[in-house]
Amino acid sequence: MIQETHFNVFILALLVAIPAWAIAVDEPFTVTLMTRAVIFAIAAVGLNIALGLGGLVSLGHAAFFGIGGYAMGILAFHQQTYAPIFEWPFVIEGTKSMPVIWLVAVVASSLAALVIGLLSLRTSGVYFIMITLAFGQMFFFYCIGWSAYGGEDGLSIYVRNGFPGLNTLDPIQFYAICFSILALVLWIVSALAKSSFGLALNAARQVPHRVETAGLNTKRIQLAAFVISGAITGLAGALFADLNRFVSPAMFSWQLSGEIIVFVVIGGVGRLFGPVVGALVFVALEHILGGLSEFWHIYLGLLLLLIVLFSHGGLIGMVCGRKAVHD
């Protein structure tokens, strides 16, 4: 068995080595694939806070991914058409600056997570799953009808948004941005998991009544985790929109919510690098199986069934063994 920290360092090394190799042999498409994997990884790291640490099975995280995407789409669209978003009571212009877009994406998805969380945390278990799924679908239908921003067809953004000092149109530079954000998010999550908040959240998943007895409000802790989780997934959505230079209601689809859960579970629920491994494997499968057969989802489905029925702890669990403590 390999120690989990060693395995994590190995994954980080892969995330640096593969794109470096791709640049050396002039394979920009591999860089784009890796960027896609890294962005999915950020979204899944976000979900893992709610799912892994908090035990909240959210089947509606595409809502936050989509909100992040539309934050980018709407801001860039207004900049592109030189039409301000609001003229009254004060003028708000669009923008093509990534940091501003990220900020808006994070704030908007946190707010959405706060409202959805407040409502869905009134219940638990299977109700929670169904309610998050339903709210995700609400955003999907809303955006289909939102004709001001393309409705069903979505919005195309012609030029990728800018980051001060970098040429974001160069695939490797954009990859570097996404990778840095992933690293930052992983660092935040690992610090969060070790903090008193993380410990309380973990305890609230395992023995909620004892946490209540200790004088902590479990629902409030879970709500905070859900909001942080949604914010990170929203940030990933903004990056994903920038990668494709396109947003559409498909970013809100329930399939995507399911896939983000799949990333987390393939890699290993509640493990720091689980979502990263899961996203990498998923994008690799999508590319390889998708090249072999038009119907690759059948194979993905079968593989997923096998993982659920016969494996415990995802791929990291297979490589590193079960966690020694607590679980």
Partner 1 sequence: MTFILVIEQILNGLQFGIMLFLMAAGLTLIFGVMGLINLAHGSLYMVGAFAAAAVAGLTGSFGLSLIAALAASALAGVIVETVVIRRLYNKDHLDQVLATFALILIFSEGTRWVFGSFPLFLEIPEYLSGPVSLPGGIQYPLYRLALIFAGLLVAAGLMLLIAKTRIGIQIRAGENDREMIAALGVDINKLYTLIFALGAALAGLAGALVGAIQSVQMGMGEPVLILAFVVIVIGGIGSIKGALIGSILVGLTDTLGSVFLPQLFGLFMDTAAATNIGSSLASMAIYILMGVVLIWRPTGLFGARG
The CB density around residue 119, as the number of other CB atoms within 10 Å, is 12
The CB density around residue 176, as the number of other CB atoms within 10 Å, is 17
Give the one residue of 258, 285, 287, 290 binding partner 1; rule: CB under 8 A: 258
Q: What string of DSSP letters covers 240-300?
A: HHHHHTEE-GGGG-HHHHHHHHHHHHHH-TT-TTHHHHHHHHHHHHHHHHHHH-TTHHHHH
Give the one residue of 8, 95, 137, 202 binding partner 1; rule: CB under 8 A: 137
Torsion angle, CA of 72/262/287/98, rounded to 10 degrees? 20
Map the footprint of partner 1 across residues 140-169, applying CB under 8 A.
Answer: 141-142, 144-148
Task: Give the residue with the Cβ less far from partner 1, 10 or 142.
Answer: 142
Map the footprint of partner 1 across residues 101-120, applying CB under 8 A.
Answer: 119-120
How far apart are the C-alpha atoms of 261 and 278, rounded to whole Å? 9
Per-residue contact flags (x/-) with partner 1 for residues 264 to 303, judged by CB under 8 A: -x---x-------------------------xxxx-xxx-
Task: Give the residue with the Cβ less far from partner 1, 182 or 316.
Answer: 316
Map the footprint of partner 1 across residues 19-78, applying CB under 8 A.
Answer: 51, 57, 59
Task: Give the residue with the Cβ less far from partner 1, 301 or 321.
Answer: 301
131 touching partner 1, by CB under 8 A: yes
In 3D space, the residue among 224, 144, 180 whose CA is nearest the CA of residue 42 turns out to be 180
Beta-bridge mates of residue 83: none
Stretch that binds partner 1, among 123-131, 167-175, 183-191, 283-291 (CB under 8 A): 123-131
Torsion angle, CA of 108/110/113/117, rounded to 10 degrees? -140
How far apart are the C-alpha atoms of 319 and 317, rounded to whole Å? 6
Q: Where on the chain is the footprint of partner 1 (CB under 8 A)?
A: 51, 57, 59, 119-120, 122-123, 125-127, 129-131, 133-135, 137-138, 141-142, 144-148, 254, 258, 261-262, 265, 269, 295-298, 300-302, 304-305, 307-309
